[in-house]
Structure 1
Amino acid sequence: MDRTRRMDLPVRAAVPALFAALAERGVAVLAAPPGTGKTTFVPLALAGLVPDLRPPAPPHGKVIVVEPRRLAARAAARRMAWLLGERVGGSVGVTVRGEHRPGTLIEVVTTGVLLQRLQGDPELDGAGTVILDECHERHLDADTALAFMLDVRAVLRPELRLVAASATADTAPWARLLGGGPEGTGEDGRGPAPVVETDAVSHPVEIVWAPPARPLPPPHGMRVDPAFLAHVAATARRALAERGGDVLCFLPGAGEIARVAGALRGVDAEVLQVHGQAPAAVQDAVLAPADRRRVVLATSVAESSLTVPGVRVVVDSGLAREPRTDHARGLGALTTVRASRATADQRAGRAGREAPGTVYRCWTQAEHERLPARPRPEIELADLTGFALRIACWGEPDARGLALPDPPPEAALRAARTTLHALGALEAGPGGEVTERGRALARMGVEPRLARALLDGSRRVGARAAAQIVALLSEPPPRAAGDDLTAAWRALRREGPPADAHAARWREEARRLQRALGESATGGASATGRSADGGRGRPRPLAGAGGHDDAVAGTVVALAFPERVARARPGQGHLMASGTGAVLAEGSALAAARPPWLAVAVADRPAGSASARIRQAVVIDAEIAREAAAPLLSREDEVAWRDGDVVARTVERLGAIELAAEPTARPDPVRVRAALAEGLRAEGLALLNWTRAAGELRDRLAFCRRALGEPWPAMDDAALLEHAAGWLAGSGARRRADLARVDVAAALRGLLPWECAARLEDMAPERIEVPSGSRVRVDYSGERPVLAVKLQELFGWDAAPRLAGGRVPLTVHLLSPAGRPAAVTSDLASFWREGYKAVRAELRGRYPRHPWPEDPARAAATRRANPRR
């Protein structure tokens, strides 16, 4: 194919408008659907490499194309070089982690590389145009890069041209941002940035709804039901049988790709697996035309930034992976979610790039209507520690001055800044300015925790070993490597050519990190600053075979994740310094060894689980745990209620892990009282000595509260426990047994305001004098106050007094001469008239020596029986 025909791409028609927009405003939004050539043709045109489509003015500086993924960056560079009839490294270059071949006119980089470059060279010397590709995917690094580039244009390089390229038509947010901010007015009031649009090649895509025959459990955390993956494989077989062309199948991750690939053994097609860790040879094979029919199993990397030739059919599982961060536990994980409608449309469009196609969707049309409209931006979901360090180094520690499409969540940013302060990367105080150590961490080009392990670990175990372990943490080995990180490291160190793509990437990354350490060391102490743990000596090798390797690897891992240092619990599992329980997989090599201490490298917490799941770890000992996680060491006096009594002791801890404890001879009396109060809350007020007087007083006060309300104090348990610590002051109580000495009645009276104390006897008298002259105790324990008295003592009394200032009638329990209940009334006059006769008839024969007058209302009350005759 000649060069002219290679460059006959749909986006060509929009390039003159893009030239004009950049000439006028210096910024533009390019909306071009997948397959139109926005990623490959537009950079060539802006660099003046399309013979019949020259820019109006000669390009000033290199064109930088920014891609969100390494695979997409390498593919874009290869495609552009192919269009020119060259090799990568000539006019077109590529720079990604592990590969640096800068071109003379165009350089394709990942967003991470651009952000790293901006830290050292904010002006982007030598760059004339920056194209931020696939900005619609809303990756955190891409959003950050756009905000930084707008800052560069506004302050340092107003002549630098900036293009935000999107595969969707939702361009308004980008036009507003590039136009000058949330309102899109710009300093010159010219409104949003110009939008240049390209129509897609119009090839129809038929939708086939292909749900499983029966409902299957939805994904849970990282787990996808094997039966659903079997259905996806069956759908791919069906697509091969029913349609022509290659099949592109979307799955959430490498594990699901491997399982479906296994289920497709024996199909009459080549099965290729494409994901972020796929070998370069596989990536090359996918992007090149093939003689044989293919089934390409891919993650979201193939949604928009890669064109796979020959694809006429898409099989969409409808699943995607999103990050989740547990800020309280310091654990991050990916979780499987249903893909959005926008994502499903992107995937379906891959079937119609070159000709009419078909998409098989493994869900129902009704389910499709219920899907979210678009994916959530990564800034809402991800761990923001790296982002927080970048913006601090940029001079915007709170991100308020950055033109971000969405602001970072406050809680997540606060958690990230707390982590950075613990690493020594940020100054203390509300400003939180970046320290020299923080800048050194940022220059390492890895996540801040790993950068800390690299810098501080190199002083303990040597630069080479530290770089190798950090490279292994930043390029995690495949699941098949097992959970013993030391064993994986040992296998990778073997001499000879790399065994696989992961080994090759690991070696290159280890070399890069070692170079970064060397460059940092040239800056001396001022460049690296103090280590967060005081820079203690080298680790003591562990006993047993391979102990030295464990000590080295464990030290670096613990420096990276001190809160994940874990100690074995009695019974099963481990407790991490963060306070989270953690378990090893059954049957794993580490679980069989039952290690007392671990430095956990990779862990996640499955949805709904209280414990974390250890994916990879290193066996360490207590000394390494103490040294590497030294910032978490504490020694404090603890006074608490434990096992039914006050326990006072001095405790040494590593985070939440208790290392040692000894009794405290003279505990703080205030803390002792607080512990006793906690005991009362835990076990109840029954721990106090409730005398009869105290119980009755509580009942009287509770009655007043019910009848009169405020300011009478509440007497329920919760209300009284609020005052428990005050009751204990001055009591001398130091342990459970001492609680019996507390004068509860006096404590209750102490809760009364003075006006209530003065009125208590009037509102709720303890005793009431009855006509016989007896002073009878009132029972306030029920809903209504009760006066229980022998019937003969009330003769002549036509009404009992009302309590609570006349608000509540007194209920009278009339007792027989033997003290047994005979009648209950709140209206004595009515009882004497109507009820007394029946009681008299029943009891006069049983108690003949007691008076039973016919007219009790006029009879004299008495406490005595009639004298014997």
Structure 2
Amino acid sequence: MIRTEALDRLPVRTVLPALARALDEHGVAVLCAPPGTGKTTLVPLVLAGLAELTDPDGSGPAAPVRRVLVAEPRRIAARAAARRMAWLLGETVPGGGAGGPADGRIGFTVRGERRVGPRTVVEVVTTGVLLQRLQRDPELAGVDVVVLDECHERHLDADTSAAFLLDVRAALRPDLRLVAASATTDAEGWARLLGGAPVVQAEGVSHPVEVVWAPPERQVRPPHGMRVDPALLEHVAGVVRRALREREGDVLCFLPGVGEIARVAGRLGGAETLGAEVLQVHGRAPAAVQDAVLAGGSGGRRVVLATSVAESSLTVPGVRVVVDAGLAREPRTDHARGLSALTTVRASRASARQRAGRAGREAPGAVYRCWAEADDARLPRFPAAEITVADLTAFALQVACWGDPDASGLALLDPPPSGAMAAARDVLVATGAVSADGRPTPRGRRMARVGLHPRLARALLDGAREVGARRAAEVVALLSEEPPREYGDDLAAAWRSARRGGDAYAARWRAEARRLEGAARGAGPDGPATGEDPAATGAPRTDDAVAGLIAALAFPERVARARGEGAYLMASGTGAELGEGSRLRSARWLAVAVADRPVTAASARVRLGAVIDEGTAREAAAALHDRGEEIVWSEERRDVVARRVERLGALELAERPLSSPDPERVAAALREGLRREGLGLLRWTPEAVGLRQRLAFLHGALGAPWPDVSDAALLESADDWLGWDLGRARKRADLERVNAGTALERLLPWATGDAARLDELAPERIEVPSGSRVRVDYGGEQPVLAVKLQELFGWQQTPRLAGGRVPVLVHLLSPAGRPAAVTADLASFWQDGYRSVRAELRGRYPRHPWPEDPSTAAPTRRTNARRSGA
């Protein structure tokens, strides 16, 4: 029996005629409807002709019966929407119990579960299932309307589905109708994407929701990686308790992940002390628990701790209060290290509005936001589109199988980042899923049909040949949904725990393993023949060996070799570390299945791995295997290394020295050594240092043709002045024997004849009036002549160098060789400065001459034979 009264209360009913007209005229439409208006339940029923379509005044014919496909981003939402629609019609979904005469008109399909029957008219699917169906049957034969629900969440599968559906409408099915539906979205962007689709806006009649700002009293550390400050979780638990005291009704609390839900649940305690039943809802929760939450309580108060899955699910009955921790999880990919993980971020304003709306679905409510009101404006407007931040390997395989390898022809709100697409194509080429030009191989098409990430599909198909479909499927099922942390970090041990486990995870694992086993047995030429187990043809492998092989096949660049206690180097070149107490710490080789890299850490943390041997590493990562000659400068050895080396990615397996390395490559390695170590590798005699300083002085004073002899310039022109020496050198010791001064002479301007003037323009020594030849110091900004004062008597003019352009800076020394005065103008010094120097020094050095007129006195290097009164 149709529940007409419930249908009539749904506010979206008023805009359904406008939506129908938009679809009739354009074939596409964007529907914006606030939470609780019925867009997920009433709209599909009306479009399918299962509920009457009437104008607000009550007139208007019923719509013809059509088959409608509704795509939801999550399994919990798909199941709940189907069951809610069936309830509104007075029916149950197929397999869900007895119903009326038209039982089974509403069904659903999610991964591992299909509830449809021959009379199903409305089918709710996840966007992942929709993608698989489009790849198998691009025409969507028999489907009249597709509704893409919750578009604002910008999941990659949803964006991809929309692009494929627009292709289908343009090329194959212009009659296929498409509705993009959401509560909060970029309506104009979606309208443009759908080719100028009309926007139908439904007004909500949600009850008022009071906003209560409840920031922590003390500052908490911002989230980074997967870490959330325990102080914030303690505060959230306190806010939940406060909400129970201050408000009526059930409490829905939003947290970023499963771990945070468990920790807050632990802080809240049991129903006896809290006065309310605590329920946990997330993607890993059993379907029965999820369905029970959405079905409502049995009278007592409830606290529902949920991830963002509850943002877009159907109304949670009884909720009057929302507590929002203000956090969400988004995917991030480190393409350079081959690591993908979720990271904790601040929730967007759109998500915060969605969450708050849950409190006003059935009656006035309140939302407690665990952040300051001043911080609210700084939140991002919408969540990040998954296509801009996620690993795009699965997306790249989907678009390759669709016939658009670079996705350039697809209608997408955001284009895929080129770097992420390049990294994705590298993975697909390495696994044999696509050819070098990006086109899918037959193997790649089989991988796409499995409904797994391409890495896991490769592990399933290749692993089934080696160990059998059942064992390969069981390990891949573990990798497709990471086991609970209490299972430990040993993949083989987690496998054994799942086999004997009676928890919700083990039940889901068994169902997924059965599905994957069927997929592997029917995989075709690259997989086992139907009904056969290839493991029977060879020596059986232990569970540990099987787990290691499958993990290594899925993540070949993560095979790792020990380089210290609990420390490893992966084939990708990234370091990895095991936790204290891990049973894997004694392993020489590991296959790392799950790892993340904290923001401040130099190495990744291994969350799940398996012991392997070198043979398994070589087998799984064969695409990374390489043999070749290596002639490089080694920073570790500080010398040229010339060897034949065998590698597995960044892992060195074997080496032997080269007896006759290529001289040109050796010279190139020595040049690299000079760049890294500096010119100190050469032999710098005092004469060489002096020549370099003189050349530097002339280059600064006169410019060309005198050469630039700075470090950067000499390294850049090494071939010009070191070429002959580099050609003969074979190792660091040969460079250390090179006389830098002799080599520098090759840079002198011989061609112009200026080289002959070097001693004239920048003399190494200058003869002073006493007859001494004193060395000039060119190491400073100005040439310096340091000489005893008595040796310069009678010298009227300061010497000038560089063709008279630069005066020498004279350091006048005392008889003991200490500086007594500095001048660049001797004539002025004799007239003005000498008197004070004479007065200070004549008593200290009485055996030296101190004439009253030094400009006419005779210079001398000697002391007086007897004391003089001069």
Aligned partner letter, 1:123:
E
Higher mean C-alpha displacement, 10-19 vs 102-111: 102-111
Question: Structure 1 residues 442 and 2, CA, compared in 2 at 3 Å: closer, same or farther?
Answer: closer
Paired residue for 2:99?
A: none
Q: 1:463 is matched with which residue?
A: 469
* 8 A Cα contact 1:251 1:300, kept in partner: yes
CA contact (8 A) 2:281 2:305 kept: yes
Deviations 1:413-446 (A, max 9, x none): 2221222222222322xx4333333222212211
Q: Name the aligned partner's letter for residue 96 of structure 1.
A: V
- The residue correspondences of 1:656-671 to structure 2 (distance < 5 A) are 656-671=650-665
Match for 1:48: what amino acid?
Answer: G
Residues 559-602 of structure 1 deviation map (CA, whole Å, 9 limit, x = unaligned): 110111111112441111111111122223334xx211111111
Matched with 1:688 is 682
Q: Which moved more, 1:132-141 or 1:696-705?
A: 696-705
Q: Helix, strand or coil for the counterpart of 1:598? A: strand
Spell out the pairing of 1:381-400 with structure 2 (5 A cutoff): 381-400=389-408
Which consecutive residues of structure 2, in runs of 5 or more, have no partner in the other structure?
A: 95-103
Pick aligned residue for 1:621 from 613, 616, 620: 613
Q: Secondary structure at the residue paired with 2:275?
A: coil
Amino acid at match of 1:7: L
**Aligned ranges 1:447-846 → 2 under 5 Å:** 447-494=453-500, 499-521=502-524, 548-591=542-585, 594-639=586-631, 640-641=633-634, 642-709=636-703, 712-724=706-718, 728-731=722-725, 732-753=728-749, 754-755=751-752, 757=755, 760-771=758-769, 775-791=773-789, 793-815=791-813, 821=819, 823-836=821-834
Q: Does 1:230 align with 2:234?
A: yes
Are 1:442 and 2:438 matched, yes or no? no
Match of 2:807, SS state, is coil
Quick one: structure 1 residues 373 and 51, their matched pair in 2 at CA, closer, same or farther if it must change by over 3 Å?
A: closer
Contact 1:29 1:174 (8 Å CA) reproduced: yes
Report the CA distance between 1:10 and its aligned residue. 1.3
CA distance in 1, matches of 2:403, 2:663: 48
Residue identity matched to 1:781: G
Equivalent in 122, 126, 132 of residue 116 of structure 1: 132
Query: Post-superposition shift, 1:679?
Result: 4.0
Give the match for residue 68 of structure 1. 73
The CA distance in 2 between the partners of 1:790 and 1:538, in whole Å, is: 97
Aligned partner of 2:255 among 230, 251, 254? 251
The 5-angstrom pairing of residues 91-110 of structure 1 reads: 91-103=105-117, 104-110=120-126
Q: Note if contact 1:749-1:757 (Cα within 8 Å) is conserved in structure 2.
A: no
Residue of structure 2 aligned with 1:282, choices 289, 297, 308: 289
Between the aligned partners of 1:40 and 1:432, the Cα distance in structure 2 is: 41
Q: Secondary structure at the match of 2:383?
A: coil
SS in 1 for 2:49: coil
The one-letter code of the counterpart of 1:145 is S
Q: Matched residues in 2 for 1:609 and 1:815: separation?
A: 58
Q: Deviations over 1:273-298 (max 9, x none)?
A: 11001111111111113222221111
For 1:657, give the aligned amino acid. L
Aligned residue identity for 1:153? R
1:460 touches 1:538 (CA, 8 Å); kept in 2?
Answer: no
Paired residue secondary structure (1:214): coil
Structure 1 residue 3: deviation in Å?
A: 1.9
- Deviation, 1:522, is 6.0
Which deviates more from structure 2 when the two are superposed, residues 110-119 or residues 238-247?
Answer: 238-247
Q: CA deviation at 1:850?
A: 7.7
Query: Structure 1's 141 and 762: CA in aligned 2 closer, same or farther, altered over 3 A?
Result: farther
Asked if residue 239 in structure 1 is aligned to residue 261 in structure 2, the reply is no
- What letter corresponds to residue 596 of structure 1 in structure 2? R
Q: Distance in 1 between matches of 2:160 and 2:667?
A: 52
Matching residue of 1:316: 324
Query: Could you say what secondary structure the match of 1:373 adopts?
Result: coil
1:82 is matched with: 87
Distance of aligned partners of 1:575 and 1:59 in 2 relative to their CA distance in 1, 3 Å threshold: farther
Q: Aligned residue for 1:26?
A: 27
Amino acid at match of 1:561: F
- Length-normalised TM-score, structure 2: 0.90
Residues 235 and 812 of structure 1, relative CA distance in 2, 3 Å threshold: closer
Change (3 A) 1:762 1:375: farther
Residue 167 (str. 1) matches residue 173 (str. 2): no
Q: Deviations over 1:774-807 (max 9, x none)?
A: 5543221222102234555544432123223433
Q: Which amino acid aligns with 2:42?
A: F
State the Cα RMSD in Å. 3.0
Displacement of 1:864: 7.6
**Partner residue in 2 for 1:186:** none
Distance of 1:5 and 1:19 partners within structure 2: 22
Further displaced range: 230-239 or 33-42:
230-239
Mapped partners of 2:240, 2:837: distance in 1: 93
Distance 1:415 1:845, change over 3 A: same
From the superposition, tell whether residues 864 and 587 of structure 1 become closer, same or farther in structure 2 (CA, over 3 Å).
Answer: closer
1:350 aligns to what? 358
1:200 paired with 2:201, answer: no
C-alpha distance after superposition, 1:788-844 (max 9, x if no partner)? 345555444321232234332111234567766554321121233334456667778
The amino acid of 2:513's aligned partner reads A
* Structure 1 residues 424 and 842, CA gap change in structure 2 (3 angstroms): same
**Hey, what's the Cα distance between the residues in 2 that align with 1:854 and 1:788?**
22
Question: Which residue pairs with 2:4 in the alignment?
Answer: 4
Q: Which has the larger displacement, 674-683 or 450-459?
A: 674-683
SS for the counterpart of 1:154 is helix
Give the partner amino acid of 2:404.
Answer: E
SS in 1 for 2:523: helix
Task: Tell me if structure 2 keeps the 8 A contact 1:209–1:364.
Answer: yes
Q: Does the 8 A contact of 1:380 with 1:408 survive in 2?
A: yes
Residue type of the alignment partner of 2:216:
P
How many angstroms apart in 1 are the aligned matches of 2:170 and 2:247?
Answer: 53
Q: Which amino acid aligns with 1:398?
A: D
* Contact 1:280/1:501 (8 A) holds in 2: no
Q: Which residue of 2 aligns with 1:38?
A: 39
Alignment check: 8 A CA contact 2:721 2:747 kept: no
Match of 1:416 in 2: 424
Q: Which runs of 5+ in 1 are unaligned?
A: 180-191, 527-534, 542-546
Do 1:539 and 1:551's aligned partners in 2 also have CA atoms closer than 8 Å?
A: no
Q: Which has the larger displacement, 450-459 or 674-683?
A: 674-683
The 3-state SS of whatever aligns with 2:607 is: strand
Q: Distance in 1 between matches of 2:559 and 2:682?
A: 43
CA–CA distance in structure 2, aligned partners of residues 537 and 647 of structure 1: 48
Residue by residue over 1:135-188, the C-alpha shift from the partner in whole angstroms, topping out at 9 and shown as x without a partner, is 011111111111111111111111100000011264111111112xxxxxxxxx
State the shift of 1:304 in Å: 2.2
- Contact 1:252/1:320, CA 8 A, preserved across alignment: yes
- Cα 1:59–1:693, aligned 2, differ >3 Å: closer, same or farther? farther
- Contact map agreement 2:151 2:185 (CA 8 A) in 1: no
For 1:65, the aligned partner's letter is V
Cα deviation, residue 771, structure 1: 4.7
Shift of 1:703: 1.8
Tell me how far apart the structure 1 counterparts of residues 811 and 286 of structure 2 sit (CA, whole Å).
92
